[in-house]
Amino acid sequence: MNVNEIRELKGKRKITMLTAYDYQIARILEDAEIDLILVGDSLGMVFQGNPDTKKVTMAAMEYHTRAVAQGAKNSLIVSDMPIHSYDTPQEALANAQQLLQAGAHAVKIEGNQPEVITVLLKNNIPVMGHVGLLPQFAEKYKVQGKTPKQADQIWRDALNLEKIGVFSMVLECIPEWLARKITHDVKIPTIGIGAGKHCDGQVLVITEVLGLVGNQNLPKFVKRFANLDKTIRDAIIEFMDEVRTGKYPDKQHTYH
């Protein structure tokens, strides 16, 4: 996949995207032939244990992008531009170039940032847009676009991002009717997260898909497709039991 092929999928079939932050998960996603891998700044919560994405740095994004690129050498990788990495067009260009050097093929920027995105596109850096809930700027994570004024602004932002030249855009936590309207009105793919079934594709956080979430409350739109919390815990308990009883290591797992 490349950005042009992703763009051409609109209206043909649904697009799939999942997050990855390390070599192992990236390797599995590539083996499964996922359309897009997102190195999300959600690593602030998933890997760093913070309540939001606001402490994620460029150094962290570059590190995780490099690890993902090692595991998925043939996949289309999109890296989030973290908070304050695109405060000016000049900063955005320098930081986006770092992410591409680390192995990304495109970057994602939250919100309607015409000056920043224009500079990146002029320097041949593909950009994925992001409207609706913007975690880097939100005080609370809640559905956006529920009032007519909010919905109109999100719709206008989406149209403007398409006009600027993003190759696709994430629609996060907006009512289904609004996501459907935006998807209909733009000629580029929309990828939903908490935006209903009418988007051109869907994205989720990999740890939530796999059930590596402990007891935390998950958003309404998240579906667990596995329960690796239990699988991993059971394996660890079995390991401890076999070590304590002398069952492991046995002859099969010992050098002679």
Whether 33 sits among the annotated catalytic residues: the reply is no
Same domain, 143 and 239: no
Q: Are 176 and 196 in contact (CB under 8 A)?
A: yes
Catalytic residue among 30, 62, 172, 208: 172
Same domain, 235 and 221: no
In tens, the pLDDT along 196-222 reads: 999 999 999 999 999 999 888 899 999
Residue 99: which pLDDT band, with cuts at 50, 70 and 90? very high
- What single DSSP character describes residue 152? H
**What's phi and psi for 149, nearest 5 deg?**
-65, -45
**Nearest-angstrom CA–CA distance, 79 and 106:** 6
Same domain, 208 and 249: no
Q: How many domains does the chain have?
A: 2
- Tokens 């401890």 sit at which residue? 240
| Host domain of residue 123 | 3-225
Same domain, 123 and 241: no
In tens, the pLDDT along 52-86 reads: 999 999 999 999 999 999 999 999 999 999 999 99
CATH number, domain at 54? 3.20.20.60
Same domain, 237 and 159: no
Same domain, 187 and 236: no
Same domain, 242 and 157: no
Same domain, 102 and 46: yes
| Mode of pairing for the β-strands spanning 36-39 and 76-80 | parallel
Same domain, 108 and 164: yes
**Nearest-angstrom CA–CA distance, 229 and 95:** 35
- Contacting residues for 208 by C-beta, under 8 A, at least 6 apart: 218, 222, 224
Same domain, 57 and 28: yes
Strand partners, 37: 18, 77
pTM: 0.96
